[in-house]
Structure 1
């Protein structure tokens, strides 16, 4: 017998009830209706809708331990001295504070070095070029909206931050992957709010209770979380 996949509501995560004939699905919790047979102007039909919902089923299953997760590896293996030089070339640093940073090349990979202890509020706000950013273990604080509204930013890695202020990476439209290497004691709200393309987060199991604060109430429905420990 073919195994059936339970579809879930993309808004609240509740199991959907599919009507007789399979043309429509209804969420019994929030009441949202899905027309599984409706085609859009782009030609998307039932298979596209089902694929999207089934993908969310897989994410939820993985996050709650019902499916095999991926290895906890990110895309920052090469970051080091070259990326630090790239950042410092476009940065203003005063007494251990990164006051301002502007990438010089499109898609630039940058690493905030140990000599920086604090990333100031809006230090890289609306930077149009930075593509990846990581933070050395001695960087203690990332200020409010420090890297928010950066349209090319696709990956972020935090190695040893103690304070992560609100909306630090909010509204980065291209952001897809975040790595949090160690527990962060102080976390603001809506740190990654509006990052609608975010699909994968690597973090310690000890940070699980902060997921809603960091990524939103329904984050576990649309984002795959891979736990380091």
Structure 2
């Protein structure tokens, strides 16, 4: 399945497990239904071709979940409440992100996101760092 470029998460899945797609160099887009609530540690770590994430129901992105996804430019996570340590570390193409439901953004969540110029938070934000 290494040649697959688009991933659609099945409706029965509520958690994307740790390292599920680790080091998959071909994935360009990931989409899932609103029942997925958690993306575990390093689930998509080092997926250098991943450009787009559509996970509108996810509430928790764990440490390193999308780290080193160098091509990532489009993140749609409207319900995301908690962004853990290093979740998007090294996503050097990410220029902007809208996080209207974010409550907690842990240390290094966006470390080495060199292009990141615009981050929008909602009124729910409690903690950064």
Q: Give the TM-score category using the shorter length.
A: 0.7 to 0.9
Give the number of equivalent residue pairs. Answer: 123
Post-superposition shift, 1:212?
Answer: 6.0
- Distance in 2, matches of 1:163 and 1:116, equals 15
- From 45, 54, 74, the equivalent of 1:177 is 74
Distance 1:180 1:220, change over 3 A: farther
Q: Does 2:83 correspond to 1:201?
A: no
Check conservation: 1:212, 1:219, Cα contact below 8 A: no
Within the candidate set 114, 118, 121, 1:224 is matched to 118
Aligned alpha-carbon RMSD (Å): 2.7
Provide the residue aligned with 1:104 in structure 2: 3
Larger RCO: 1 or 2 (CA < 8 Å, sep 6+): 2
Match of 2:23 in 1: 126
TM-score (norm 1): 0.47
Structure 1 or 2: larger helix share? 1
Taking structure 2 as the reference length, what is the TM-score of the superposition?
0.78
Structure 2: state its 5+ residue gaps. 124-129
Larger Rg: 1
Q: Distance in 2 between matches of 1:103 and 1:149?
A: 14
Query: What SS does structure 1 have at the residue aligned with 2:28?
Result: strand
**Segments of 4+ moved more than 6 angstroms:** 218-221
Match of 2:33 among 136, 140, 151: 136
Runs of 5+ consecutive residues of structure 1 not aligned to the other structure: 1-101
